[in-house]
A = this chain, B = another copy of it.
Amino acid sequence: MNSEFIIAVHSLVLLAHRPEGTASSEEIATNVCTHPARIRKVLGCLRKEGFVATREGSGGGYTLIKEPEEVTLADVYRAMAAGSLAPSWCSGNPEMECMVGSNMQDVMNSVFCGADQQLEQYFSQITIGSMLAQIRERQNA
């Protein structure tokens, strides 16, 4: 799994937790434990996909512009990491003579496409809001 997916989810949960839904890249970076430049890159992507609004300049930052309960992890997954299940490494080779070796890439690919869909379906049941709720439960326990 793409670690940018994790950063995106964490950032969205943090924004949802903020009363105004707003934070700067530095605040988010501190919370996520990474570099502000990386946050800016990931949240720039989330902006293009319509999850957050950004304001440049002094006092600027990132604002969540969707209801936390309506943003599913599947939405985030599609935006950040779709198809990332299959490893870059590939077995077999379509050019070879052996029936198994020459067809394996295609068959393996279809297996991973199905897995990706399965994963997306699972993620569609989890929202940014429900993750925040889980965190609050843990805190109270």
Contact = CB atoms under 8 A, between A and B. Distances in A.
Interface in A76-125: 85-87, 89-93, 96, 98-101, 103-104, 106-108, 110-112, 114-115, 118-119, 121-123
Contacts of A123: 115
A41 B16 CA distance: 46
Say how many copies of this protein the assembly contains.
2
A134 interface: yes
Given A1-B86, A123-B115, A91 B10 contact: yes
Contact of A92 (B10, B98, B101, B112): B10
A97 to B, nearest CB: 10
Contacts of A3: 87, 89, 91
A10 B14 CA distance: 42
Nearest to A27: B98
A91 B14 CA distance: 12
A123 B111 CA distance: 9
Given A107-B134, A111-B131, A115-B119, 13 more contacts: A3-B89, A31-B92, A31-B96, A31-B100, A32-B91, A33-B93, A73-B111, A99-B139, A100-B135, A107-B138, A114-B122, A115-B122, A118-B122
Pairs A-B, 8 closest by C-beta atoms: A3-B89, A31-B101, A118-B122, A3-B87, A10-B91, A103-B135, A32-B91, A1-B87
